[in-house]
Every structure is written in C-alpha cells, then in structure tokens.
Amino acid sequence: MYDSKAYSAASAISPLAPTTISRREPAASDVQIEILYCGICHSDLHQVRDEWNAVMPAVYPVVPGHEIVGRVTKAGSAVTGFRPGDLAAVGCLVDSDGTCQQCLDGFEQFCPNATFTYNAPDKHTGGVTYGGYSDSIVVDERFVLRVPANLDLAGVAPLLCAGITTYSPLRHWGVSAGMKVGVVGLGGLGHMGVKFAHAFGAHVVVLSTSPGKRDDARRLGADEVVISTDAAEMEKHAGSFDFILDTVAVVHDVNAYVQLLKRDGTLTLVGAPVDPHAVSAFGLLFGRKSIAGSLIGGIAETQEMLDFCGAHGITADVEVIPIQKVNEAYERLLKSDVKYRFSIDMASLKEG
C-alpha cells in the first residue's frame, strides 16, 4: 500500500476536506495513474450528501470522482496496452466479474458484480473504493481507457461520465440526421448531449429552465432553445420530438416532456433523483410513447466515444478549478450555475 493525497467527505453534512488515503501497489494486471484532472459530476454531490441512501448508501469517508484523466506511472507485468508516460482515463467503473452475460455483451455497467470507482466494496483492500479527487489511482487494465492525443485534458475528464452517459443513449435510440431531439437541462450531461446529438446530425432543441443559457446552448450546437417554464413556448413543440434526453438531477414534471414526443417517441431519463417521478398513464397511452432509462455505458462503448471525440475534436466545456474550490463548486451546481462542467486541476492538491 502507498499513501495518496485526496479530498474526502466525513459525513453527509461535512464539506470535502484534505486527507491521505491508502492505495494498493499495482499488481500484474494493474495500471497506476497520476491523476491530472477530475471532473465534478452531480452524482458526486448526490453520493457525498447521501442523497442516494435508499439505493446506494454512502460509506464514509467518501472520496468522490469518476471522470479521471492522467498519465500512467506504473504498469504491472501482465499489462499490454499501457506503458509509463501514456495518457490514460478511468470512468465510473473499475471492475466487473467479466463472466456474466452483461459483461460478455459489453455492458459491464449492468454486471451484478460491477465495482464503481468510489463508494463500492473494494475486493483488494476490504474497504471501499476511493475516486478521482486524488493524486493517484490504481485500476485493472480492463477498465483503463486510451485518450486521444489531440484533445485538451481538462475537457477530456468529463467525457468519462458526462460524455458516455449521453453518447450511449443517443446511439442506442439511433439519433441521426432528420430527427428532432430534445435535451432537458443544460448542465454537465446536457451540454455533452447537445454536442453529440449535433455531431450525429439531429435537429437539437435545448429545454432549459435558465433563459440566461440561450446563447451558450446555440454555441454548443443547439438549433433551438425552449424555456421549459414558459407553457406557451412548450406548447408550440407539442407532439414534435422523436427523442428527448432528460438530464435533470431533481424530481420534476416529466409529463411536460412526454407531451412533446411524437407517436412512438421516447423520453430517456439519465438524471438520477432518488425519489420517484409521477407519470401520467394517459400521457403515454395516447401516442404509444415510452419513458426509458440509461446508465453510463460499457467499456468498449466508452472507448468508442473517446475515439469519436478525438476524431471530431469534441471535449467538455470546462471551468478548471483548484481542488480547494470544490465545496464552492458543489453549491454552484445546486444553483444550475456551471459552464458546463467543473474540472479539478489535480496539481492543486500538492498545495494541501
């Protein structure tokens, strides 16, 4: 074991604070990565504040962070794909059983024995996994991603969660030219959804509660912006969407978006409030509409997404912050004040 600097939360009401954690020495199949940037996902806030207690209770101290990019410092003897000095990235998963049907089909995220990057039982240490708000991490090579060399690293980090979580459902539901696609919520996930849907050729409409984000939405690739609190504006789009991706982190009226779908349209939820949404059956019946969900993406698809980003020059729009500003960043997330992902410059961790 070796010491690694990190930021952790001691309880649901504690701010994140500096700490030292123990990491395992890399075994034969492991890659050790010096973390350069880590994105701040709203899921980090849900977990740190134990908002997901009913589904995934937090085990404190929590070291969050699952949008990790850095440089390889050591590679175990059996590692074939990485060498010290290579760029490398890690997302929401660090292990799975590799043998179940989900894993065989490339859906490691649905493996019943998947290990999430933080706050999950760690078979190596007997404790819990610690995430990327840290200067170093050790991960089995199967869960380490290759990073295209042409991209800005601070903007690459968020691709590992916000990127794949939006890329995967847009691909699964076949978003392409000729389709009208809505993205609800212009935050970390939403802004990546806009970039991908635009890159796939769709007509993209941002559905936002924030009138101040209109210009940014267009710059990011939206063809239209609808302020979702304006009933008249919403009504103009009734029955017109093929697909809507809903990234909102709190319980809200999903029926307002179902009524925007065409016949056979789908509203896919990726936002993850723990309390249930109220769904009107009638809203679905008339038009044979669907509400669906989607969880990150498998490892092969995550690599495909990174390669797509490399080929198309896509990264997240980030506000780079030192880790000392992480608690302030969480408060801003709660106010929908993020443009459009915080990316922590991990060099700041050296300062304490």
Q: Please give the residue ranges that form the binding site for ligand NAP (CB under 6 A).
A: 41-43, 46, 161-162, 165, 185-190, 208-210, 213, 247-250, 252, 270-272, 294-296, 333, 336, 338
161 near Zn ion, judged by CB under 5 A: yes
Structure tokens at 348: 């700041």
Q: Output the smallest distance, CB 271 to ligand NAP, in A.
A: 4
Pick between residue 131 and residue 188 the one whose CB is nearest to ligand NAP: 188
Choose among 285, 232, 233: nearest CA to 258: 285
Q: Output the smallest distance, CB 68 to Zn ion, in A.
A: 11
Q: Output the smallest distance, CB 251 to ligand NAP, in A.
A: 8
41 near Zn ion, judged by CB under 5 A: yes
| Cα 228 to Cα 184: distance, rounded to the nearest angstrom | 9
Is 153 in contact with 344 (CB distance < 8 Å)? Answer: no
43 near Zn ion, judged by CB under 5 A: yes
DSSP type of residue 62 = B
The residues, ordered by sequence, that sit 6+ positions from 145 with a Cβ below 8 Å of its Cβ are 88, 89, 90, 91, 160, 299, 302, 303, 306
| Number of residue whose CB is nearest ligand NAP | 187
Pick between residue 138 and residue 338 the one whose CB is nearest to ligand NAP: 338
181: number of Cβ within 10 Å = 26
Judged by CB under 5 A, the stretch of 132-140, 155-163, 255-263, 317-325 that binds Zn ion is 155-163
Pick between residue 41 and residue 267 the one whose CB is nearest to Zn ion: 41
Pick between residue 148 and residue 273 the one whose CB is nearest to ligand NAP: 273
Is 66 in contact with 116 (CB distance < 8 Å)? Answer: yes
Q: Output the smallest distance, CB 166 to Zn ion, in A.
A: 11
Q: Output the smallest distance, CB 11 to ligand NAP, in A.
A: 20
Structure tokens at 53: 């207690």
Which of Zn ion, ligand NAP, none lies near 210, with the C-beta cut-off 5 to 8 A by kind? Answer: ligand NAP
Pick between residue 113 and residue 336 the one whose CB is nearest to ligand NAP: 336
Pick between residue 61 and residue 271 the one whose CB is nearest to ligand NAP: 271
Structure tokens at 343: 């990316």
Q: Output the smallest distance, CB 311 to ligand NAP, in A.
A: 23
Choose among 166, 213, 220, 212: nearest CA to 189: 166
Strands 87-90 and 261-269: unpaired
117 near Zn ion, judged by CB under 5 A: no
Which of Zn ion, ligand NAP, none lies near 19, with the C-beta cut-off 5 to 8 A by kind? Answer: none
Q: Output the smallest distance, CB 278 to ligand NAP, in A.
A: 14
Is 88 in contact with 147 (CB distance < 8 Å)? Answer: yes
Whole-number Cα distances in Å, 233 to 218, 226, 238, 321, 351: 17, 6, 9, 36, 49
Is 154 in contact with 318 (CB distance < 8 Å)? Answer: yes
Pick between residue 52 and residue 60 the one whose CB is nearest to ligand NAP: 52
Residues lying near Zn ion in the complex (CB under 5 A): 41, 43, 161
